[in-house]
Structure 1
Amino acid sequence: MLGASFAIGGSLAIFAVMILFLGLWSHFFVTLERILFWPFFYEAIAFVGEIVCLYPLYARWDQLGRVRGLRIGLEILLFVNASVQMLLINMVASYMLTPRPAFNLPLIMFNPTMVPLEMHRFIGNIAFAGAIIALVAGIRLLWRAKAPQMRAYVDWMGQYGLVWAIGFSLAQPLVGWEYAKEIQLHAY
């Protein structure tokens, strides 16, 4: 049942976005799709790859525990798919911010703001993951952890998550400054 609701919800979201883009900004979207067809195409493949890796992990987590190598392999493949998808979406976003001539695909895909944008989002994702780890640890500490050993583990987990969240959040302004500098240098 959960898989069907996920598939229906994902399909509705994709079709709603397509209808909005094609209905409201048809000329812009068709032009962007014509110029950046291959990044969009490979991004869609990476998105499907994410779903193919994530669903077995979600649905069969306990069963995959007996085959630890397969579970770790799926997790690594999920990370690679998510990273490739973010890279391809950042190519599109950086092209929209600092466009290059439409006839040179490598120059379009790897324009000057792509790497700082990728770094900014990657560091932000790590900080967000640390905050989620700290949140889960805090919830477990409040409601579930009764034994002293479990409380110590959850306390360590929360500290670990906060170190990652705060540490990488402190790096964000430096990376954001570099990103803003590249925008300023190449936007005109």
Structure 2
Amino acid sequence: MKFSHLLALFAAFVLLVSPDLVFAAADEAAAVLEGAPKPSRLDYPLIGGVSARTVVWSAAQMHLFLAAFVLAVPLFAIATEFMSVVTGDDRFDNMAREFMKITMAAYSLTALVGGGLLLSLLVFYPHLMEYLIRVFRGQMLIYAMLFGLESITLYVYFYSWDALRRGNRKWYHMSIGLLLNTVGLTLMFIANAWVSFMMSPAGVDPTGAVTGTVWEATRNPLWNPLNLHRFLANIAYGGAIVGGYAAYMFLAEKDPEKKAHYDWMGYTSNFIAILGFIPLPFAGYWLMAEIYAYSQQMGITAMGGILAWLFIIQAVLIGTIMLAANYYLWSGLMRTDRGAQYAKYVKYIAVVIVGGFLVWLTPHTLILTANEIQNLGGTHHKILGPLGIMPAKNTAVNLMLVF
């Protein structure tokens, strides 16, 4: 049986089964009114002095790193492959193939870490997993099937590259790549539904009992903002990782022709990363606005409470990314034939970026002793205090993005 036949059978199965799994859940929900689990301190065990939460967080974070890369790189791989068709330049095709070569190396590790994450969740938090399975029901089966389909399309897309490289066969190859990216994004959207449901549950009553359909639980208030934020973040992250790979290969290679290839690949990857990074803060604003709209207390806890220090670290990282990305582009620009004529503008751009970075870092409320508060006349600095509020920070970030 041909691969296309298998895909057709799979699509038919999903179309036949998914309506029952997704939309016919209301009847089941009426009969299942058991509330959400109420964890106690015993549900967060210490194993050999290591917190179960730390184990799950470590596995989840590593899986997120790898999955973001594996989902992002095929997106700009197929875009680069399309550029090779439009321009007739094989350099784009070679670069797209190398993009996928890196993805293949990361995919197996992604699946391995994902399996470890699932195992740790089932072992340490069986009540949570039982509840999520009760809420999302057949959607988890669809997720597993889509993961299998993604694995098949990924390997077919990469290993058929040379066979489908020329003529009209190239369009068949890009169709496989389009299917790969569609499945990958669908997997991300489904996983985002599970995560966002835990922050803004929908389709349940105040006790957590399932009263709605799977679609209602999926389309919770934070689902779409999280989808957009992760989509852009994946592109920025994937482009940066590939850029780092290209920079390493540029330094390691001795052949001038290959060094030129990796130099161009790194510059292109960094450009892709910046394209994803520029709109990312606005997606973040939307996500936080929806968090505040759903639960003001959750927003205050995240940005002004116990988790506020993470936003300070994030500010440092954002400024570092801006400076590093611009320096990378400036370095590449200086190696071009006409790059020197733009060198005089670099110092002005650097002043704006560093100035915006300092405003972004400026706190609104200072941690002071009683004597310092008395001498200062309050917890807010008279001159720097206004730079600690969001209008000033938004202006600074927007200027950093423009420059």
- Look up the match of 1:94: 196
> Given residue 227 of structure 2, which amino acid in structure 1 is its aligned partner?
E
**Higher helix residue share:** 1
Distance 1:24 1:170 in 2: 39
- Look up the match of 1:40: 140
Q: Secondary structure at the match of 2:228?
A: helix
The structure 1 residue matched to 2:255, chosen from 146, 151, 160, is 146
CA deviation vs aligned residue, 1:37-70 (integer Å, no higher than 9, x gap)? 2332222121111101112234444334354233
Q: How far did 1:72 drift?
A: 1.4
Distance 1:75 1:54 in 2: 8
> Given residue 94 of structure 1, which amino acid in structure 2 is its aligned partner?
S
Distance 1:125 1:162 in 2: 13
- Look up the match of 2:268: 160
Q: Which moved more, 1:35-44 or 1:85-94?
A: 35-44
Q: Does the 8 Å contact 2:229/2:280 carry over to 1?
A: yes
Q: How far did 1:80 drift?
A: 0.5
State which structure, 1 or 2, has the greater radius of gyration over its C-alpha atoms: 2
* TM alignment of 1:104-115, pairs within 5 A: 104-105=212-213, 106-115=215-224
Q: How far did 1:140 drift?
A: 3.6
Q: How far did 1:168 drift?
A: 2.2
Q: Scaled by the length of structure 2, what TM-score is found?
A: 0.40
Say if 1:122 and 1:57 are closer, same or farther in 2 by CA, change over 3 A: same
Larger relative CO (CA 8 A, sep 6+): 1 or 2? 1
Say if 1:53 and 1:103 are closer, same or farther in 2 by CA, change over 3 A: same
> Given residue 178 of structure 1, which amino acid in structure 2 is its aligned partner?
W
Distance 1:91 1:12 in 2: 20
Distance 1:137 1:127 in 2: 15
Q: Does the 8 Å contact 2:197/2:218 carry over to 1?
A: yes
Distance 2:179 2:287 in 1: 29
Q: Secondary structure at the match of 2:173?
A: helix
- Extract unaligned runs of 5+ from structure 1: 1-5
Distance 2:197 2:250 in 1: 45
- Look up the match of 1:80: 182
> Given residue 141 of structure 1, which amino acid in structure 2 is its aligned partner?
F
Q: Does the 8 Å contact 2:196/2:223 carry over to 1?
A: yes
Distance 1:26 1:45 in 2: 22
Indicate the RMSD between aligned Cα atoms, in angstroms. Answer: 3.0
> Given residue 112 of structure 1, which amino acid in structure 2 is its aligned partner?
P
- Extract unaligned runs of 5+ from structure 2: 1-106, 205-209, 297-403
- Look up the match of 2:125: 25
- Look up the match of 1:3: none
> Given residue 127 of structure 1, which amino acid in structure 2 is its aligned partner?
A
Q: Secondary structure at the match of 1:42?
A: helix
* TM alignment of 1:113-132, pairs within 5 A: 113-132=222-241
Q: How far did 1:19 drift?
A: 4.0
Instruction: Say yes or no: does 1:71 pair with 2:180.
Output: no
Say if 1:135 and 1:11 are closer, same or farther in 2 by CA, change over 3 A: closer
Q: Does the 8 Å contact 1:42/1:88 carry over to 2?
A: no
Report how many aligned residue pairs link the two structures. 182
Identity of aligned residues (%): 26
Q: How far did 1:113 drift?
A: 0.3
Q: How far did 1:71 drift?
A: 2.1
